[in-house]
Amino acid sequence: MKLDFTYYNPTTIHFGKESLSNLKGELEQYGETVLLVYGKTAIKKNGIYDNVIATLNEAGKKVVELSGVMPNPTYSKMLEGCELVRKNDVSLILAVGGGSVIDCAKGISVSAYCDDDPFTKYWLQFQPVDNKTVPVASILTMVGTGSEMNGGSVITNEETKIKAGRVFPADIYPKFSILNPEYTYTVSRYQMVSGVFDTMSHLMEQYFTGDDCNTTDYLIEALLRSSIDNARAALKDPEDYEARSNIMWNATLALNTMTGLSKAQDWQVHMIEHQLGAYTDCAHGMGLAAVSLPYYRHIYPHGVDKFARFATEVWGIAAKGKSKEAIAKEGIDALEAFCKECGIVTSLKALGATEEMLPKIAESTFILEGGYKKLTTEEILKILKECF
């Protein structure tokens, strides 16, 4: 663990079939008015909405609702929530849904009482949060982003076409998150595998950096193996509780900051996908998969030892008598084969992109330095064309 770090994660996780039974006790610690934030109609169809409302009523809470939060939540939707918080003096923002809904809730938390333009101040200028904030909690119904146990909030400004991510400090993390794997049964196969790749991408973005292999790398390899094994089991039987519960917990651990400790971290794939998302609104995990394959084939010669280790430790590739380059290539091939096996879409065209979008996506992508090779805009365009 070469690089010094501070680790602090105060989110309480209630996990399992009976985890919702902890909601009432948690609610007692907060004031009268709760802002319930959710997406479209899913949680009404599967009954989660009714169960949550029943507990909120039992706890004697006044409930205000912000519904219709979309994948890649927009700045304008977030501002709607800020308005509701101010008007109703909300004391807890309860997000019920996936990462988009929780990201939106965190955005509302820091922005409701911000006097400047919050998007500029917090998502573009990364200024410290110096205004009053509102506690956030979550009930997770879709797996992948890890937003239930971190400070991440990705908001899309639909006017400027900027999808910007910000990691807020621990006092913005959800105070508690309720994770019931059964809530994910109704998620479509498409969304499930998209979530699995999202988890794997978070792990790989943290793994493919540095010349060492520290304990964090060993943990990442374990979570990748668990993600692969359990995705296969869940595809056989979507109601395999053991598999769905492992997939859910993998996603949380993949981005609760523990799997990034003492790692420089890359995140270039996410930077490219964020702009892809701003233009196409595609499923986040699918966009990540499409970009990852050509990206890793482009950079692996600059980190061949780590890519070779990825092949042997994560995919069980036999190393005997092969060059490191050959082993590394086999690892990326195994990743691609796994995407095909799971029905993960890896073509930008199939994800709704047009050829005209590619230069705009490339030009608007943030370029980072943490990975094995710093890209140029031309290289990003080349990578986008390779997965078009």
- Among residues 230 and 280, whose Cβ is nearest to a second copy? 230
Residues 40, 68 contacting (CB under 8 angstroms): yes
Interface with a second copy (CB under 8 A), residue total: 43
- Among 80, 212, 281, 336, the residue binding a second copy under the rule CB under 8 A is 212
- Among 253, 272, 291, 348, the residue binding a second copy under the rule CB under 8 A is 253
Does 241 engage in binding with a second copy (CB under 8 A)?
yes
Does 246 engage in binding with a second copy (CB under 8 A)?
yes
Q: Where are the alpha helices (DSSP H) in 89-166?
A: 99-111, 118
- Among residues 123 and 310, whose Cβ is nearest to a second copy? 310
DSSP readout, 286-326? HHHHHHHHHHHHHHGGGGHHHHHHIIIIIH----TT--HHH
Does 8 engage in binding with a second copy (CB under 8 A)?
yes
Does 377 engage in binding with a second copy (CB under 8 A)?
no
Does 226 engage in binding with a second copy (CB under 8 A)?
yes
Q: Is 97 left (phi over 0), alpha (psi -120 to 50) or beta?
A: left
- Among residues 16 and 165, whose Cβ is nearest to a second copy? 16
> How far apart, in Å, are the Cα atoms of 58 and each of 52, 54, 61?
10, 6, 8
Does 24 engage in binding with a second copy (CB under 8 A)?
no
- Among residues 16 and 301, whose Cβ is nearest to a second copy? 16
- Among 18, 115, 356, 378, the residue binding a second copy under the rule CB under 8 A is 18
CA nearest to 174, candidates 106, 250, 84? 106
- Among 90, 93, 95, 219, the residue binding a second copy under the rule CB under 8 A is 219
Mapped onto helix, strand or coil, the DSSP state of residue 154 is strand
Give the shortest CB-243-to-a second copy separation in angstroms. Answer: 10
> How far apart, in Å, are the Cα atoms of 154 and each of 157, 271, 354?
10, 11, 23
What letter does residue 69 receive in the DSSP assignment?
P
Does 28 engage in binding with a second copy (CB under 8 A)?
no
Does 7 engage in binding with a second copy (CB under 8 A)?
yes
Does 181 engage in binding with a second copy (CB under 8 A)?
yes
Query: How far is C-alpha 237 from the chain's CA centre?
Result: 24
> How far apart, in Å, are the Cα atoms of 72 and each of 182, 265, 276, 296?
24, 23, 11, 25
- Among residues 5 and 126, whose Cβ is nearest to a second copy? 5
- Among residues 38 and 183, whose Cβ is nearest to a second copy? 183
Does 14 engage in binding with a second copy (CB under 8 A)?
yes
Stretch that binds a second copy, among 83-91, 92-100, 253-261, 284-292 (CB under 8 A): 253-261
Does 141 engage in binding with a second copy (CB under 8 A)?
no
- Among 153, 245, 268, 292, the residue binding a second copy under the rule CB under 8 A is 245
Residue 10: other Cβ atoms inside 10 A: 11
Mapped onto helix, strand or coil, the DSSP state of residue 374 is coil
Residues 326, 320 contacting (CB under 8 angstroms): no
- Among 167, 222, 304, 368, the residue binding a second copy under the rule CB under 8 A is 222
- Among 205, 221, 266, 330, the residue binding a second copy under the rule CB under 8 A is 221
Residue 19's identity, in one-letter code, is S
Give the shortest CB-254-to-a second copy separation in angstroms. Answer: 10
Does 128 engage in binding with a second copy (CB under 8 A)?
no
CA nearest to 36, candidates 136, 133, 158? 136
Mapped onto helix, strand or coil, the DSSP state of residue 278 is helix
- Among 41, 125, 215, 347, the residue binding a second copy under the rule CB under 8 A is 215
- Among residues 134 and 223, whose Cβ is nearest to a second copy? 223
Give the shortest CB-361-to-a second copy separation in angstroms. Answer: 34
Distance from C-alpha of 49 to C-alpha of 54, rounded to nearest angstrom: 9
Does 315 engage in binding with a second copy (CB under 8 A)?
no
Does 214 engage in binding with a second copy (CB under 8 A)?
yes
DSSP readout, 177-205? EEE-GGGGTTS-HHHHHHHHHHHHHHHHH
Site residues (vs a second copy, CB under 8 A): 1-19, 22, 181, 212, 214-215, 218-219, 221-223, 225-226, 230, 241-242, 245-246, 248-250, 253, 258, 261-262
